[in-house]
Amino acid sequence: MRIQVMMGGALLALCVVSAGCDEQLSDLTGPTPSLEPTFSSIQRDIFNTTDASGRTACTQCHSDAGGRTPTGGLNLREGVAYANLVGVATRGKPGTIRVVAGDPESSYLIHKLEGRADIAGVRMPRGNGPFLTPGQMLVIKRWIELGARNN
């Protein structure tokens, strides 16, 4: 699995920088055609926005809007999301880190978004989907692989 992620990340990087690649990044990311492997893009296109597939914005549940406590204690509102993700322990599963810079496979965020068997609770976004597409997941993993910078 780790090799597949690394190969996918390498393919994504190659497509992004290579003029000869037939597949555009926007072709991979489906309902979020402007999504890029940067935190600002993930914030804008994934956390803040309901996409064209109908997947609701993460901030629908993960924000302190209206004075509520964000789900799982994870506030993904712009301006605080990065500090609540990178290098921060989860509340739901002791011993796990939400985003481990450079290591998507150890990042609990990836486990929750993919709905892996080792998660506490349910796959995100909560409900029956739509969930993030494989292309959207690839971009988020690539951001983490590149060091999960606040860019």
Rounded Cα distance between 47 and 94, Å, is: 24
Q: Please check whether residue 150 lies inside any domain of the structure.
A: no
Residue 126 in this model has a pLDDT that exceeds 80: yes
Q: Count up the domains in the chain and report the number.
A: 1
Whether residue 22 is contained in a domain is answered as no
* pLDDT single digits (tens) 3-19: 444 444 444 444 444 33
Give the domain extent around 42.
2-15+32-145
* Per-residue pLDDT tens digits for 33-71: 889 999 999 999 999 999 888 999 999 999 998 888 888
**127 lies in some domain:** yes
Global confidence as pTM: 0.81
Is residue 25 assigned to a domain? no
CA angle, residues 118, 36, 131, in degrees to nearest 5: 40
In a domain, 21, yes or no: no
Q: Does residue 27 form part of some domain?
A: no
Q: Identify whether 24 is part of a domain.
A: no
Q: What is the DSSP letter of 71?
A: G
- Tokens at residue 84, please? 């609540």
Contacts of 67 (CB under 8 A, 6+ apart): none
Quickly count: other Cβ atoms within 10 Å of residue 6's Cβ: 14
23 occurs within a structural domain: no
